[in-house]
A and B are shown apart, each in its own frame.
Chain A
Amino acid sequence: MSGLLSDNPALVQGLGIALLAAASTTLQKGAVLSVLTFGTTVPLALADDLMRRVPAWLRLPLYSLAAMALVQLFSSLWLVRYPLLIDSLGIYLPIVAVNSMMQQTLLDGARPGGRWEKVFRALMRCAGFCVALCLISALREVAGFGTLWDHPLKTRMRFAGILLPFSGFIVLGYACAAFRRAERGLRVALWRASLSRAPGRDR
């Protein structure tokens, strides 16, 4: 479960910055990129046993080639139904195939451990990354366009600058700090709760 909290790939480890800071301008884009991230990382984590037979220097290239094949498959399927959305992702669609979050998760999978354990770990890391991606995308869409999933909201304030990459970095920086603060607060609260429940506390 650490992929969701203490080892969150987006907010703790700072992986996949291109998708988080530059591509995440609307919730729809965030959702498409999240599905692609899941769709590439989890199947490749399942193929980990096969990849362990490959020399180490060839592992990352093969992962990237396979990920690009999957990205191409997904985008070809979606292109028929959502051509504008797929087109609006521009260069960030193929960039998913070389996403550092995926690479790190799959290369860490080369550590010893059961197959399902690794798949579960990949799932949790993807979930942690995608929650952060969708939250940042939603925030930027609300502040920048005044919409959420393309539905207009009743807000009057528009900060068009938040849609630009520099704001993406700054928003991500603040999100990382807020997450760190919240996680530390949670740990302290849990520690205090465990202390108060500990036997012999009343003596």
Chain B
Amino acid sequence: MQTLWGFVVIVLTAAVVENAVFARGLGIGNLADMPRDYKELLDYGVLVTALTCISGALSWLGEYALHRIVDPAVYRSHVKNPVFILSIFAAYLIVRKGLAVFWPGRFQRSEKNLAVSAFNGAVLGSILLASSQRYNLSQTLFYCLGSGAGFCVALLLIFSGRERMEISRVPRAFKGQPILLIYIGILSLAIYGLIGHQLPT
């Protein structure tokens, strides 16, 4: 029971407290090219979650294997980041092949977004954060799952906000990107307050 509760805490931490989008601005570098439909957006989010989980597991295995061979200080400063990007590359190849073989319809739909979903700040950021917290394999997987779920929810919130703002009266200079960024900032502030942080004095 305690282990299960531990996993729930990890998922909630990754999804809310350390939300990739609102706490670190990751994965939304290309807002203008984001899907403009709820279903497509959800597809994109699920793809990012799957890629985060697979690359998280692969990076954990890589880290586990290399920690025994390479000096920890050298590993942290010179080896860790290349190992992580290679894990993402491996996850990208696995998902691509898996979709093409088992789910060709889905593959055709998401082929265009697949590389962007994999080589994305949210995926790399999540596995970097999971690694910095020295989680074991199952904890890393739950952290990546929570991070992906948080990313999905954040995308949906941003999308619904964008839809409402498109039909609202906004000063001309703020239309589109500027007002969306301010909206994300306010949501980020709300989450920051919700989890009980205090602003530095």
- List chain A positions with a Cβ less than 8 A from chain B: 12-18, 20-22, 57, 59-61, 64-65, 68-69, 71-72, 75-76, 79, 91, 93-95, 97-101, 103-104, 160-161, 163-170, 172-174, 176-178, 180-181, 184
* Cβ–Cβ contact B177 & A176, under 8 A: yes
Contact with A along B94-129 (1 / 0, CB 8 A): 001000000000000001001110111101110011
Is B200 in contact with chain A by the CB < 8 A criterion?
yes
Contact B185 A167 (CB under 8 A): yes
What A residues does B192 contact at CB under 8 A? 164, 166
Closest to A170 in B: B185
Q: How far is the CA of A21 from the CA of B24 in the complex (A)?
A: 8
Which one of B26-34, B39-47, B62-70, B139-147 is at the A interface?
B26-34
CB distance from A191 to the nearest CB of B (A): 17
Contact at A166–B186, with CB atoms within 8 Å? yes
20 additional A-B residue pairs with CB within 8 Å, beyond A68-B85, A91-B128: A13-B177, A14-B30, A16-B29, A18-B25, A21-B185, A64-B85, A68-B81, A69-B82, A72-B78, A91-B124, A91-B125, A95-B121, A97-B124, A100-B29, A103-B30, A165-B22, A165-B24, A169-B25, A173-B177, A177-B173
A172→B28 CA distance, assembly (Å): 14
- The contact sample of 8 A-B pairs, CB cut-off 8 A, is A21-B25, A57-B114, A60-B119, A61-B92, A72-B78, A97-B85, A167-B185, A173-B182
Shortest beta-carbon distance from A137 to chain B in Å: 14
Contact check, B200 vs A160: say whether CB atoms are below 8 A apart. Answer: yes
A-side contacts of B199, CB under 8 Å: 160-161, 164
By beta carbon, the residue of chain A nearest B191 is A166
Question: How far is the CB of A60 from the nearest CB of chain B, in Å?
Answer: 4
For residue B123, give the distance in angstroms from its CB to the closest CB of chain A: 8
| Contact in complex: A169, B181 (CB < 8 Å) | yes
Task: Check A176–B186 contact: CB distance below 8 A.
Answer: no
Chain A residue contacts of B125, Cβ below 8 A: 18, 91, 95
In the complex, the answer to whether A94 meets B85 with C-beta atoms within 8 Å is: yes
Query: Which DSSP category, helix, strand, loop or mixed, fits chain B's interface?
Result: helix
User: Distance in Å from the Cβ of B84 to the closest Cβ of chain A?
Assistant: 7
User: Which B residues fall within an 8 A CB radius of A?
Assistant: 22-32, 77-78, 81-82, 84-86, 88-89, 92, 96, 111, 114-116, 118-121, 123-125, 128-129, 132, 171, 173-174, 177-182, 184-186, 188-189, 192, 199-201
Q: A91 with B24: in contact, given A57-B111, A166-B188, A169-B188 (CB under 8 Å)? A: yes
**B24 (CB) vs chain A CBs: closest residue:** A22
Interface centre among A16, A21, A65, A98 (most CB of B within 10 A): A98
* Contact in complex: B185, A14 (CB < 8 Å): no
B116 interface neighbour in A60, A76, A172, A184, Cβ under 8 Å = A60
**A91 with B129, Cβ < 8 A, contacts A18-B29, A180-B178 known:** yes
Known: A65-B85, A161-B199, A178-B173. A173 touches B118 (CB 8 A): no
- CA–CA, A22 and B21, complex, Å: 10
B177 nearest in chain A by CB position:
A14
Interface contact B182-A57, CB-CB below 8 Å: no
Chain B's closest residue to A86 (CB) is B77
Residue of A nearest to B125 (CB): A91
- The CA of A20 and the CA of B124, in the complex, are separated in Å by 17
A169 contacts across to B, CB distance below 8 A: 25, 181-182, 184-185, 188
Q: Which residues of B contact A15 (CB under 8 A)?
A: 29-30
Q: Are B82 and A180 in contact (CB under 8 A)?
A: no
Whether the Cβ atoms of B120 and A98 lie closer than 8 Å is yes
CB distance from B79 to the nearest CB of A (A): 9
Taken together as a complex, chains A and B put the C-alpha atoms of A59 and B115 apart, in Å, by: 9
